[in-house]
Amino acid sequence: MASTPEGRRAIARVAEQVLPALISRLSASELGELEVREGDWRVRLRRDSAAAGDGATNAAAPGERAAGTGRGATGERSSATERRTGDRAAGGDRADRGATSRAAASRRAITSPAVGYFTPRASLAVGQPIRAGDVVGHVDVLGVPVDVVAPADGRLGRLFAAAGEAVEFGQELVRIDGVEAALTGVGPGIDEATGDGATADATATEDRAAENASRDGSALELNLDNPDADTDAGIETAPALLVE
Amino acid sequence: MFSRILIANRGEIALRILRACRQMGVSAVVAYSEADRDTRAVQLADEAICVGPAESRRSYLSAASILSAAIVSGCDAIHPGYGFLSEDDTFAEMTRAHGLTFIGPPPEVLERFASKAGTRELLARHGLPTIPGSEGMLRDDDHALAEANRIGYPVLIKPSAGGGGRGMRMVRSPRELQQAITICRSEARAAFGDDSLYLERWLEENRHVEVQVIVDRYGAGVHVGERDCSVQRRHQKIVEEAPSPALDDASRLALAEGALRAVVAAGYENLGTLEFLVDGAGNYYFIEINCRIQVEHPVTEMLSGLDLVVEQIRIAAGEPLGYTQADVELRGHAIEFRINAEDVSQGFRPQAGLVESYSAPGGPGVRMDSHLFSGYEVPPYYDSLLGKLIVWGPDRPTAVDRARVALDELVVEGLTTNIDFHRALITNSTFLDGGFTTNLLDRFGSAAFLAAAS
């Protein structure tokens, strides 16, 4: 299936648009599990009961199935995102290029708004949900704090600069994971030069996501604008999907 | 001496300052905007730090960003180059308040010489002849009209801050004055954040001659002769040379010595350039002082053998001058050609784009100060200066011959430049005679030069 053009398109759509939207939906809802079918493919999202308490969501990384490593064992995949994040922190797992590059499609960098000394906000934890506009820290410019602001919704990823570290304008300070694909195309993605693990393939994936988003992503964007809307009603606006 | 200098500029001058730092064994950090990431200075620097986006107001002109960059990168001095923050006394004061040194005059000296009208009064008191002009800044249209009547038309409207010809207009009647003053104010406000204007009498046939001075903290100073910058387009210098073909040895000495005496007496410090207008009869009038390294400084370096950027850094670090006027020997003749990305046939409109191919000239007496390389993308955000070709010869005809060879050798492909214009200029009989004034281009027309070239 995945080798046919329709199959690849279906996977791409699930991975790049639908999944991130569903993850966000699932985090906002009281539901424990959500399953989506597109063509012959089925993706199940299950909230890890241990993590559910602090609001963090564990879900299959979008690239997992596309890379052909997962086979429906959702329990096994629940920690995939964290594991890969760990790999990246250790220098990047370039062997897993396919998965890594697709994961990059759902990441955004929070960059430094100024040159100065960086201080992250206290109590930042990897995996915590953040919204566009959230202040995640500040850069001290001659004693004047300049806010470091998240450009998109998602979950807090890795911190690239320690408290008190000198940073330059535009430097990546914090990564946001799980950014909605429909929104990913709106702003600049992760800089190839600074985003470790980002590859040319990732850019291509991101471009495609942006393309998809502009073609038929309006329904999903609508959903995101109404996070409190009923789950079923929201999903119904994306006609190709079924919720079991 | 400083241990680490932040270079707060771009283009060819960032490279020029970097070379001086290297030569002195001082490490250098290049501050750059996002648009200048792929430039020579950034590549060659010991360290480079991005200070802001392309927009210069938020990068090269942002005092807080530049200073913060200097602090976080461990610099103890900032070299501002020319333009941008180079003559900003508030920035110099901020730099000192944070325990760093501004490479240029100390803040109080910059402040004393910040107002062009104030500087004319100050140096007139110390013996320099000045051109008749308005009493202080123009308050409103009525004041401007009254002052213009008193001075006599034509008059030149000039902004108090900045330079480079922006916000400057020559007007011949009260009606033209009223129309131009609004434009000048908005241009000056946009370029310098200050729309103060004043008037100066316009000398119909004048030459622009400037004197280079170096004064240390202890009041010892030398002049390094004059430069003639009369070849201008839209009040912007395009070719500079030394010595001035318009002055004989006695008058050039009188001009330079008078300039040095006046600035030393007025308490000037560090490198400076005093600009004069010289009329057909050889009378000279002081117009303004530039408290920074100038674009055309290599002309003087070729004649004197001094490294003016090194001198500037040494003096800012508090070192004594270490030599006297008798040690300054000026030899031969030098000419600088500003190589700009501009379309001469479209009113010198600035160009941007990819430099597909670049090849610099060489040979005896030829110097090319440029940040270009094949594959460099000229960004649209800044001035159009691509580099400077400087030629030296034992006399002016030899310098012109070397210029001809060098201009023919110089290759900049991929975007429109003024190289052909320069090739044509050096065949113009008025230029070759040395009898030109600042009206040269207006009188012949830029198109005529280009036509002559093809």
Shortest CA distance from A141: residue in chain B: B68
E strand residue ranges, A86-181: 108-111, 116-120, 129-130, 135-141, 144-149, 154-159, 165-167, 172-177
What's the pLDDT tens digit per position in B290-300? 999 999 999 99
Q: How far apart are CA B380 and CA B375, in angstroms?
A: 16
Task: Test B72 with A142 for CB contact under 8 angstroms.
Answer: no
pLDDT at B395 over 90: yes
Q: Please list the residues that pair with A216 across neighbouring strands.
A: none
What's the pLDDT tens digit per position in B330-385? 999 999 999 999 999 888 999 999 999 999 999 999 999 999 999 999 999 999 99
Nearest by Cα to B288 from B107, B17, B87: B87
Looking only at the bridges linking them, the beta strands covering B377-378 and A129-130 are unpaired
What's the pLDDT tens digit per position in B123-169? 999 999 998 888 888 999 999 999 999 999 999 999 887 666 778 89
CB A26 within 8 A of CB A232: no
Residue range A205-216: mean pLDDT, rounded: 38
Interface test with A, best of B50, B62, B72 (most A CBs within 10 A): B72
Note the pLDDT of residue B134: 87
Note the pLDDT of residue B228: 97
Q: How far apart are CA A120 and CA A118, in angstroms?
A: 7
Query: Using a CB-CB distance cutoff of 8 angstroms, which residues of chain B are in contact with residue A167?
Result: 72
Note the pLDDT of residue A190: 41
Distance set, CA B35 to CA A168, B355, B377 (Å): 14, 15, 10
Residue B163, token pair as written in the block:
């330079």
Strand order in the sheet with A116-120: A144-149, A135-141, A116-120, A165-167
Nearest by Cα to B162 from B292, B336, B18, B313: B292
Closest-CA distance, B381 to chain A, in angstroms, reads 18
Check CB contact of A141 with chain B, cutoff 8 Å.
Answer: yes
Nearest by Cα to B264 from B94, B396, B109, B390: B109
N- to C-terminal Cα separation, chain A: 22
Of residues B312 and B195, more confidently modeled:
B312
Winning range, highest mean pLDDT, from A55-69, B36-50, B192-206: B36-50
N- to C-terminal Cα separation, chain B: 52
Note the pLDDT of residue A7: 62
Interface test with A, best of B34, B68, B91, B93 (most A CBs within 10 A): B68
Q: Which residue among the candidates B10, B292, B338, B402 is catalytic per the annotation?
A: B292
| Spatial CB neighbours of A120, under 8 Å, sequence gap ≥ 6 | A136, A137, A148, A159, A161, A163, A173, A174
What's the pLDDT tens digit per position in A20-29? 666 666 665 6
Note the pLDDT of residue A199: 34
Looking only at the bridges linking them, the beta strands covering B47-52 and B27-33 are parallel
Task: Test B68 with A116 for CB contact under 8 angstroms.
Answer: yes
Give me the amino acid identity at B404.
R
pLDDT at A101 over 80: no
B292 is an active site residue: yes
**Run of H or E residues at A220:** helix A218-225
Shortest CA distance from A118: residue in chain B: B72
Query: Using a CB-CB distance cutoff of 8 angstroms, which residues of chain B are in contact with residue A166?
Result: 72-73
Report the b/e string of B422-454 with b at 16+ CB within 10 A.
bbbbbebeebeeeebbbebbeebebeebbeeee
Q: Which of A31-35, B154-158, B401-405 has the lowest mean pLDDT?
A: A31-35
Q: How far apart are CA A120 and CA A207, in angstroms?
A: 31
**Run of H or E residues at B223:** strand B221-233
Note the pLDDT of residue B445: 75
pLDDT band at A81 (very low <50, low <70, confident <90, very high): very low
Q: Which of A228-237, B28-37, B111-120, B265-274 has the lowest mean pLDDT?
A: A228-237
CB B198 within 8 A of CB B160: yes
Residue range B417-431: mean pLDDT, rounded: 94
Residue B152 exposed, middle or buried by CB count within 10 Å (0-12, 13-18, 19+) = exposed
pTM of the model: 0.74
Give the number of beta-carbon pairs within 8 Å between A and B: 41
Of A115, A117, A141, the CB nearest to B49: A115
Note the pLDDT of residue B167: 80
Q: Which of residues 60 through 119 in chain B touch A, CB cutoff 8 A?
A: 64-65, 67-69, 71-73, 98
Of B34, B59, B72, the CB nearest to A116: B72
Of residues A58 and A115, more confidently modeled:
A115
Q: How far apart are CA A230 and CA B390, in angstroms?
A: 74
- DSSP characters for B299-355? HHHHHH---HHHHHHHHHTT------GGG----SEEEEEEEE-EEGGGTSEE--EE-
Interface test with B, best of A115, A144, A172 (most B CBs within 10 A): A115
pLDDT band at B286 (very low <50, low <70, confident <90, very high): very high
